[in-house]
Structure 1
Amino acid sequence: MTRTGSPAGVLSIKPFRRLWIALSLSSFGDWLSILALTALAGSLTKGSAENYAIGGVLVAKLLPALIFGPLAGAVADRFDRRITMVVADIMRFALFLSIPLVGRLDWLYIATFLIEVVTLFWIPAKEATVPNLVPKDQLERANQISLTSTYGSAPVAAATFSVLALISKVLFSQPQQQANLALYINAVTFLVSAATIFSLREIPKQRGKVSVPSILKQIVAGWKFVGSTPLVRGLTIGILGAFAAGGAVIGIAKVYVKQLGGGDAAYGVVFGMVFVGMAAGMFLAPRILQEFSRRRLFGLGIIGAGVALALIGIIPNLVIVALLTALCGAGAGIAWVIGYTLIGLEVEDSVRGRTWAFLQSLVRVVLLLVVASVPFIAGVVGNHRLHLPGKNIYRFDGPNAVLLIAAVVAVIVGLVAYRHMDDRRGIPLIRDFVAALRGEHYTLEESTREHGVFIALEGGEGAGKTTQARLLSIWLRDQGFDVVMTREPGSTKMGMRLRALLLDKESSGLSSRAETLLYAADRAQHVAEVIQPALRRGAIVVTDRYIDSSLAYQGSGRELKVGEIAEVNRWATNGLVPDLTIILDVPSDIGLTRFASPADRIESEPREFHERVRRGFRALADAEPHRYLVIDGTQSQPDITRKIHDRVRAILPDPVPPSAEDETSTMPAIRD
């Protein structure tokens, strides 16, 4: 799949670069604080109380977001944002510094709660500041860099914590003192961040409005959008289940590492391996498995993370646990990057913000409930010793049970998400996956097809498909190929009657399901009467619309189940899939203005319908990028034509028949 355009870097903008330094320090401090605070809480307690102490720290970190989120947004609206951020960082510095100085568990909880409250005031001020420091066309890139800094600082913080833990073990004899050095360093990062932000005079005192509705309002407002399509349902189930399993792991990691004989340094290593694995999953898997369906990969990533979790809970070896933790993180990273991308493509622009707010709110609630329940689950299970043959003893304690429960949850939600999102039903999963590892795209054998090439042009109304299909056919004929140009609906006698019925504005009472079946009927006749015979004789078939139009118009546009529509059309066409699908991507408000004649029944649909159709096409291309070429349809006609020619040229057959080599022995045939 080809996309155009690449955003310029924004770190050359001095004010943003300085703000980015402060953001990176703040993120580093946040991750380091999780490790240091849980380590300190564990050292201040003994026995089974350690589970509850660590769980209490995590609850104290999550609870403020559920209570004070709206108030934080209001403060960002009304006060000088630079001063708000500076004061927040100074307060965090003082609170973190006080925790090791006081050295009591109750103050640790109070200070952690206050730190998170202060952070809630800092975040909206930061979010409102970034758009004022970079040009609008570079805002997306700036947000990407900020997001990378937020999560990229986690393994750095984990490595730093491990080193500090080793140093502290030499300097301090008391376990309670060994986390103090990390907390002191953590406090300093916020002091430096405050100084950096204070020097940023470019931050405006107030510009625009930032409001954060309550968690309950976000959940209620977003609930109705989640069930709109099987894809969004599958994504929501998968993301929530993955975060629930992740919350269980975070809540029990410190105790489990200690159970395996590791100290604070080992805890830091295991924590960091999660994010190393996430980075590997996010950046490597989509590149290694370019030919594999993204929708399938989402569910499989969560299932893989669940299997790794199960092995972590069973194998009592710290080194193996660290490696398996990286695999678990890789599965989570795969699911996260695919989920983030697909929601951006599938959900309407007008409600995408509410959908993300809904998901983030539910994630907070789920994390809070899971983290609060983990100590009780571990406490109920207790400690057990299983006597194995050969006088071996296997230790199975509360942390093992928590990890296994989290693994079961991850596998179940992964299976549910896979079932909701599978866009290649009928294609064997194992063969599909193995083919993708080899860099190939697996398709079922098609006995109806021999040597021809099948090209489909797709896109919304007014995208220019018909024009480009005609120009492509003329160009191919000029190259000496046998070309059949066709269209849907209406390329057969039966299809002409169906076309008149489908596009007639008087057919307003036609149900969405009936419409879908009529398009499938036209397509079945089209394939049997026009496309298959042409492919059998080795011709190149260029069609204006094919199955993807039904998936986008009736699936996304009419909001029917895309999987069911795909299954009906797969049967109607005997599994015939284009070698290349070209999508001309044009915003609906531009495409709908290109008509000179009165609009037909489909063209007369409201703009929201056509926007859903556009997102449907883009989601299809994102799921199988090897088979698609996506072109910005607002470009000039010659530019679009040139890009189509460049891509089509790569799949054209050898114009010299293989038999010619035997006859002439002078011109070898070119084989792919």
Structure 2
Amino acid sequence: MSAAPHSVGAVLALPGVRRFWAAIALSSLGDWVGLLALTALANELAGADYADRNFAIGGVLLLRVLPALLIGPLGGYLADHLDRRWVLVVGDVLRAAIFVTIPIVGTLPWLFAATVLVETVNAVWLPTKDATIPDLVPPLRLEAANRLVLATTYGSALPAAVLFTALSAATEALSAVAPWAPDSSADVALYANALSFALSALLLASLGSALPAGSAVPPEQRVGVLRAVVDGWSYVARTPLVRGLVAGVVGAFAAGGVVIGLARVYVDEMGAGDPGYGVLFGAVFAGLGVGMWRGPRLLRGVSRRRLFGLALAAAGGVLVGLSLVADMVLAVVFSLLLGGCAGVAWITGYTLLGLEVPEHLRGRTFALVQSLVRLVLSLVLAVAPLLAALVGQHRVSITDDAGLTFGGVQLAFCVAGLLAVGAGLASFRSMDDRPGVSVAAELRDSRSEPGTYAAAGLFIALEGGEGAGKSTQARLLAEALTGDGSAGGPEVVLTREPGDTRVGRSLRAILLDPDTGALSPRTETLLYAADKAEHVARVVRPALERGAVVITDRYVDSTLAYQGAGRALRVDEVEQVARWATEQLRPHLTVFLDLPAADGLRRALPAGGPDRLEQEPVDFHERVRGHFRALAAADPEHYLVVDAARPPAEVAAAVLQRVGPLVEARL
């Protein structure tokens, strides 16, 4: 079976994209190897003095951020106006040439100057690369393409660490037996780094006309760049939740950056040298990758707002633990854990931003986050070694034969860790959307069975609050999939909950009629579960077994949101009842139509007055909306979040864009 159109495999199958991705991978590999090699060479050229080595490493890292601070806007301007094909190819050639000169000259001043030159090229090359991606892939596959590039950019840190470690070990072994062999592993790594950029340039040049040329941004968008930046900053500053998310995402990277910035001196204190540096560097980014890829999936049932603060606090706690470790093996273990916690915090915060930020501001907000991450990470990498150098190393004698040795590295780890713990706990308290539910209980519940997926057919659920337009969008989707009704198209079954069976209609009357009055939350939950059991047994499962496309207006998520979050029942208990009633059947895709509760209630007001649930206060419906968002954030693979404030035709187009490939892939 061919790859789904929105998958990474489908992106790589596009003409030219595979070679472009390979070039990006080589450039990213060179960037990370360059970071390791430059700091290692700075440590080597600075001599034996503890403070001198820290200042040299800090100087290199500080110079990596200066071009972005000073000429970032100019770099973006050049990326917009120069020929992109020329910028990408020549940029890689220039970086390769600069890195070759560093070991040849072999002085600390030239290392500093070369660092500035490389980052100046990066200031133009990186935005040009980002502007090229949308021109290589169709809109349907842009999300997968961005995931691929993001994973490649950060994921290449691990193979870079492995390569640097292997080159360091091989250089040390060879120089011990062969007098002609180079004795500096940093020099060898810099030559390898230059080779990676040269190969990237060859790949980009080989693309020819497949690589877009000309300006990346239309003239009308270039005019308002300054205004767009100001609007993005203003929105983040005046929105507490988004402000906290941005600060936390940046803080997660800063926690990992402290370790990277001090790792070279830290491993020297343990006698591990360049190989140990590469291992520790790789451990942080290996943990980061695992945390980003697997963490939220392993903790699927945990509220994403809670998970964000918990992961950030956990990263800080691990960093404090690392400050107490003086053994290389334990340091690697703590670094893996630190990267994992930071990865969970980063990807959770990034996903929540996608749900919380209005669509018309989303691009600017994400651009701001990416810029802040790069800026803060670079500043941390630069400042932490300088602070460690100022503190120096100290020893406190306990007895004549025993004492405690500590230095600026350990102090910096400890202070950064305590700050991260405080930030995580503050975030948890301010964003806690499940007050009264213990963290231990939520972690335990997160291991419960999330449901299964039908082997035949395609099951789609539309969810959302009152007035979000679920019934309208379900009908429009069914009409789009059936077309003119000619033979050969899929069978489409349009259904709803509650009330699409004989028993369900009676239950619907009880549940929604205002004359029913107040029901016990548990009674209400069981009545909805009874409707679901009958609905799945009589309508949904038989249609799926026939290979049909089943589109349901509401399903299990509505029970979790309304009876769990809305009625303040324990969500895990509500889910157990709902999953049992539906035989663990889960939709292949859930479309969440997101709309502020107050707006939805105004839309939903019928001529005959509101039903029993529509009569609930706005804060009830906001809790419902918040839980829908949390469910979508926890499992983006099976959810589509659409801004329901948009015109119905635009919403329908967005839904069909995601559903169409699923129909082609499964039926």
Fold match (TM-score > 0.5): yes
8 A contact 1:85–1:122 mirrored in 2: yes
The aligned residue for residue 482 of structure 2 is none
C-alpha distance 600-10 of structure 1, shift in aligned 2 (>3 A): farther
How far apart are residue 69 of structure 1 and its match?
1.7
How far apart are residue 24 of structure 1 and its match?
0.6
Counterpart of 2:343 in 1: which secondary structure? helix
Q: Does 1:79 align with 2:79?
A: no
How far apart are residue 37 of structure 1 and its match?
0.3
Counterpart of 2:395 in 1: which secondary structure? strand
Offset from partner CA, 1:89-119 (integer Å, 9 cap, x none): 1110110000000001111011011101101
8 A contact 2:319–2:413 mirrored in 1: yes
Counterpart of 1:261 in 2: which secondary structure? coil
The aligned residue for residue 238 of structure 1 is 248
How far apart are residue 345 of structure 1 and its match?
1.5
Alignment root-mean-square deviation, CA: 4.6
The aligned residue for residue 32 of structure 1 is 33
Task: State how far apart, in whole Å, the 2-side matches of 1:618 and 1:162 are.
Answer: 46
How far apart are residue 302 of structure 1 and its match?
1.3
Task: State how far apart, in whole Å, the 2-side matches of 1:405 and 1:169 are.
Answer: 35
The aligned residue for residue 503 of structure 1 is none
Superposition map of 1:238-387 within 5 A: 238-387=248-397
TM-score normalized by the length of structure 1: 0.73
Task: State how far apart, in whole Å, the 1-side matches of 2:145 and 2:570 are.
Answer: 46
C-alpha distance 226-552 of structure 1, shift in aligned 2 (>3 A): farther
Higher deviation after alignment, 285-294 or 262-271 = 285-294
How far apart are residue 317 of structure 1 and its match?
0.4
8 A contact 1:43–1:175 mirrored in 2: no
How far apart are residue 12 of structure 1 and its match?
1.7
8 A contact 1:306–1:406 mirrored in 2: yes
Q: Does 1:209 align with 2:233?
A: no
8 A contact 1:484–1:534 mirrored in 2: no
Larger Rg: 1
Q: Does 1:150 align with 2:153?
A: yes
8 A contact 1:69–1:214 mirrored in 2: no
Task: State how far apart, in whole Å, the 1-side matches of 2:571 and 2:297 are.
Answer: 31
The aligned residue for residue 455 of structure 2 is none
The aligned residue for residue 469 of structure 2 is 462
Higher deviation after alignment, 146-155 or 157-166 = 146-155
The aligned residue for residue 668 of structure 1 is none
The aligned residue for residue 419 of structure 1 is 429
Paired residue type of 2:134 = P
C-alpha distance 260-629 of structure 1, shift in aligned 2 (>3 A): closer
8 A contact 1:43–1:176 mirrored in 2: no
Residue 431 (structure 1) aligned to one of 427, 441, 447: 441
C-alpha distance 32-478 of structure 1, shift in aligned 2 (>3 A): same
C-alpha distance 472-182 of structure 1, shift in aligned 2 (>3 A): same
Task: State how far apart, in whole Å, the 2-side matches of 1:154 and 1:67 are.
Answer: 26
Superposition map of 1:498-517 within 5 A: none
The aligned residue for residue 584 of structure 2 is none
8 A contact 1:482–1:539 mirrored in 2: no
8 A contact 2:297–2:635 mirrored in 1: no
C-alpha distance 352-634 of structure 1, shift in aligned 2 (>3 A): closer
C-alpha distance 464-584 of structure 1, shift in aligned 2 (>3 A): farther
Paired residue type of 1:461 = A
8 A contact 1:290–1:439 mirrored in 2: no
The aligned residue for residue 226 of structure 1 is 236
8 A contact 2:280–2:332 mirrored in 1: yes
Which runs of no fewer than 5 residues in structure 1 stay unpaired? 442-454, 496-524, 554-565, 602-611, 644-672
Q: Does 1:492 align with 2:502?
A: no
C-alpha distance 629-207 of structure 1, shift in aligned 2 (>3 A): closer
C-alpha distance 631-315 of structure 1, shift in aligned 2 (>3 A): closer
8 A contact 2:252–2:346 mirrored in 1: no
8 A contact 2:463–2:593 mirrored in 1: no
Paired residue type of 1:69 = G
Counterpart of 2:397 in 1: which secondary structure? strand
C-alpha distance 615-233 of structure 1, shift in aligned 2 (>3 A): farther
Offset from partner CA, 1:284-334 (integer Å, 9 cap, x none): 222322222222211111112111111111011011101110000000111
8 A contact 2:92–2:197 mirrored in 1: yes
TM-score normalized by the length of structure 2: 0.73
Task: State how far apart, in whole Å, the 2-side matches of 1:614 and 1:192 are.
Answer: 53
C-alpha distance 81-227 of structure 1, shift in aligned 2 (>3 A): closer
Task: State how far apart, in whole Å, the 2-side matches of 1:574 and 1:122 are.
Answer: 48
Task: State how far apart, in whole Å, the 2-side matches of 1:213 and 1:386 are.
Answer: 61
8 A contact 1:303–1:414 mirrored in 2: yes
Higher deviation after alignment, 25-34 or 168-177 = 168-177
Offset from partner CA, 1:229-285 (integer Å, 9 cap, x none): 554233123112223323322221111111111110110000001111112212222
Offset from partner CA, 1:550-579 (integer Å, 9 cap, x none): x999xxxxxxxxxxxx99x55799999675
The aligned residue for residue 97 of structure 1 is 100
Task: State how far apart, in whole Å, the 2-side matches of 1:259 and 1:22 are.
Answer: 37
Task: State how far apart, in whole Å, the 1-side matches of 2:392 and 2:348 are.
Answer: 38
Counterpart of 1:314 in 2: which secondary structure? coil
Q: Does 1:483 align with 2:507?
A: yes
Q: Does 1:66 align with 2:95?
A: no
Counterpart of 1:316 in 2: which secondary structure? coil
Calculate percent identity across the aligned residue pairs.
39
The aligned residue for residue 21 of structure 1 is 22
